[in-house]
Structure 1
Amino acid sequence: MQVGAAALSPIIAVVGGWIAWQQVRINRNKLKLDRFDKRYEVYEASMNFAASMIANGDLTIGPYDEFLVKSRGARFLLSKEIADYLDELGANAVKLRGALHASKAPSIKDEQWAKYEDRITEITKWFQQQLEVIPERFGPFLSVKDI
C-alpha cells in the first residue's frame, strides 16, 4: 500500500508536467495562427486595393481606407521592407489620382494631356504587375508550414 502511494506522487507530477507542456504547445500554435491571420488580412487588403485600382482606374475611398487601416502595423507585424512597399502602393495610388484629375483639366494642352495619359498608363500597368508581386513579397510571411 505504501509503495503504491509513493509511486503515485511521481506519476501525478509527470502527468501534470505533460499537461503543462501541452498547454505551452497549444498557446504557441494559437499565437502562430493569430499572427498568420493578421498578416493575411494585410495581404488580402493589399491585393484588393491593387485590384480596385486596376478595375476602377482611380483611387476609391472604400478600398483605400481598408488598405490604410489593415496595413498600418505592417512594420511590426511583417517587416520594414513590406511596410515600405505598402507605402509605395499608397503613394502610386495618389500619383494616379493626381494624373487623372490633371488630365481632365479644361485648360490642358494636347501635349500635356498626352504626358498625363502616358503616366496614367504607366501607373496602371505597375498596379497590374503588383498582382503578381504582392504574393511573392508576402509569401515568406504567410507560410503555413510552421503553424
Structure 2
Amino acid sequence: MTASAAIAASTIQAASYVAVQSNPQSTWLTVVQVGAAALSPVIAVVGGWIAWQQVRINRNKLKLDRFDRRFEIYEAAMSFVASIVTHGSVREEWRGEFQLKSRGALFLVSKEIDQYVEELLKMSNRLVYLTIQLQTPLLTDAKREELGSELTNVHAWFHDQWKIIPEKFAPYLAVDDI
C-alpha cells in the first residue's frame, strides 16, 4: 500500500467518524438508550412503592372490617341487655337475635367475650326460669320469697351490665386499633 493510499484510507475513516458523531439520529438514539436504562430502576421503585401502599390499604381495610363486626357484637349485647332492663323480662326473639348477631365472638373478638356472651344468655335463661316459677300457684311463701329475691338479683345483674359491657369490649374497639 502506498503512502497516498494509506493517507486516503485514514481520511475516509476520519470522515466516517465525524459523520457518525455529527448524525443527530445517532445522538438521539444514544440519549434514548441511556434514558431507558436509567428509567427502568425508577419505574421499579415507583412500582414497589405503589405495591406497599396497596398492602397498607388492605391491612387498614381488614382492621376496619374487623372493627365493624366487633361493634355489631357490642351493639347486640347492649341492645339485648337494654331490652331486658327496660321490660324486666326476656322474649325469645330478643334472645334469638342476640345469638345471631353475636355468633363468631370467639373468632372475631376473644374467648373472654365469647364466654361473656354465653353468660348473658345463661342469665337470660335464668330470668325466664325464675319468672315462670314465680307464676306457679302452689308455691310456699318462703319459696316465693326466695325466688323473688333471686329474680331481683338477676335484674340487678342485668342492670349492672350497662357498665360492664363497654369495659369488656373497650380493648377490642379502641380506635388506635384501626
1:3 — aligned with what? 34
1:114 — aligned with what? 145
Q: 2:113 aligns with which of 67, 82, 92?
A: 82
Percent of aligned positions with the same letter in both sequences?
52
1:37 — aligned with what? 68
Q: 1:128 aligns with which of 159, 164, 169?
A: 159
| Greater RCO structure (CA 8 Å; 6+ sep) | 1
State the superposition RMSD in angstroms: 1.0
Q: What residue ranges of structure 2 are gaps of 5+ in the alignment?
A: 1-30
Given the two structures, how large is their TM-score scaled by the length of structure 2?
A: 0.80
Q: What residue ranges of structure 1 are gaps of 5+ in the alignment?
A: none
Distance 1:21 1:97 in 2: 54
Q: Is 1:68–2:75 an aligned residue pair? A: no
Distance 1:31 1:46 in 2: 23
Distance 2:159 2:62 in 1: 34
Given the two structures, how large is their TM-score scaled by the length of structure 1?
A: 0.96
Deviation string, structure 1 residues 58-95 (Cα, Å, up to 9, x no partner): 11123211210122211111111111111111000000
What is the total number of aligned residue pairs between the two structures? 147
